[in-house]
């Protein structure tokens, strides 16, 4: 009788685990589909219409995407969250949110691609990456899961148009401890504790 009871408990555990994994996979797929639609809308520009509640990515959905930070970078959430993480992990929420805004501001802007992943990876073919972490030769897998979870939540808000753009439309930024020559060509829009942000003086971005 004890053997039967143990076997029954084991079977229930397996079924519950399978159901949980299946539910997480479903949330992941929903989140990725929503993110793709939202990035397309963001790339179209010219509209400030709020995202309908039914189309927004939920917190549980976004956290189901790339939970260990080791998945290939081939969807908007992963690409945006990894960029936030590698550019500003350990920094303030303002720094992390500002990095997210720069990526979103570049979407569809003249001189930049129309998808989040293409924006993040731009320049890698010539080893002249717009985001240096992408082609620094180091592993892009996440090391601090808690900070990465924060990055995904910020990415969720950015894609949902729920993130205040504290950069005021910036499409460039740099660490405040360096003084790149290119910065003089642009208008500084704001700064955070770690970064300075810029946008073009007029004309197309490069």
Both tokens of residue 58?
């939920």
- For residue 138, CA distances in Å to 86, 88, 100, 132 come to 11, 16, 21, 11
Q: Is 161 left (phi over 0), alpha (psi -120 to 50) or beta?
A: left
Per-residue pLDDT band for 22 (boundaries 50, 70, 90) equals: confident
For the residues 173-194, what does the mean pLDDT come to?
93
For the residues 39-55, what does the mean pLDDT come to?
85
- Per residue in 121-175, pLDDT (tens digit) is 988 776 677 787 877 767 778 888 899 999 999 999 999 999 999 999 999 999 9
What are the strands of the beta sheet with 195-200, ordered from one edge?
A: 172-175, 195-200, 186-191
pLDDT of residue 4: 54
pLDDT of residue 143: 84
Pick the more confident residue, 108 or 164: 164
pTM of the model: 0.85
Both tokens of residue 105?
């501001």
């Amino acid at each position: 009788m004890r053997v039967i009871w143990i076997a029954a408990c084991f079977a229930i555990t397996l079924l519950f685990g399978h159901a949980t994994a299946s539910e997480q996979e479903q949330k992941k797929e929903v989140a990725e589909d929503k993110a793709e639609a939202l990035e397309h809308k963001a790339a179209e520009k010219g509209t400030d219409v709020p995202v309908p509640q039914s189309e927004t990515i939920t917190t549980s959905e976004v956290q189901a995407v790339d939970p260990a930070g080791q998945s290939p970078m081939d969807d908007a959430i992963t690409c945006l969250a990894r960029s936030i993480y590698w550019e500003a992990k350990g920094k303030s929420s303002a720094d992390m949110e500002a990095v997210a805004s720069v990526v979103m501001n570049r979407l569809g802007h003249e001189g930049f691609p129309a998808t989040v992943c293409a924006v993040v990876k731009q320049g890698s073919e010539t080893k002249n990456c717009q985001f240096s972490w992408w082609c620094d030769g180091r592993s892009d897998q996440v090391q601090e899961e808690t900070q990465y979870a924060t990055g995904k939540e910020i990415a969720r808000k950015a894609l949902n148009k729920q993130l205040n753009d504290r950069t005021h439309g910036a499409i460039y930024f740099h660490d405040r401890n360096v003084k790149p020559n290119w910065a003089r060509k642009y208008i500084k829009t704001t700064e955070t504790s770690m970064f300075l942000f810029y946008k073009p003086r007029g004309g197309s971005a490069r």
